[in-house]
Amino acid sequence: QVQLVESGGGLGRPGGSRGLSCAASGKILSINDMGWYRQAPGKQRELVAVIGSGSSTVYADSVKGRFTISRDNAKNTVYLQMNTLSPEDTAVYYCNAKIRSSILRSSDYWGQGTQVTVSS
């Protein structure tokens, strides 16, 4: 019943900026960690950034200083602000959240993925 819906993907220019958002809906008792992963062609899916329920953050070295993850708990939404984009940022970006939907169930949920392409 829980669903994550992403938005904000598309074409970006080198050096430019773009923002992604992901909203969770459905039966949600609480949300712990929320994060963004990405998968480039021919590569494994990798962690981009994660934010805890207390707003502590962890970033991949490749995006430190350029990307910012944030969350709005009232909206059950996580954001990824991407600055100083590089063609190497081109990938499908996936939203992930650890959500407790009942007293007996806590699971990872994934968004459908959104394509981000950085090109001149």
pLDDT at 75: 96
pLDDT at 1: 83
What are residue 91's phi and psi, to 5 degrees?
Answer: -175, 170
Q: What is the pLDDT of residues 44-55, one digit of tens each?
A: 999 999 999 988
Mean pLDDT of 111-117: 97
Q: Which of 111, 34, 41, 25 is nearest to 80 (CA)?
A: 34
Determine the Cα–Cα distance for residues 102 and 37; give it in Å rounded to an integer: 25
Mean pLDDT of 54-76: 96
pLDDT at 36 over 90: yes
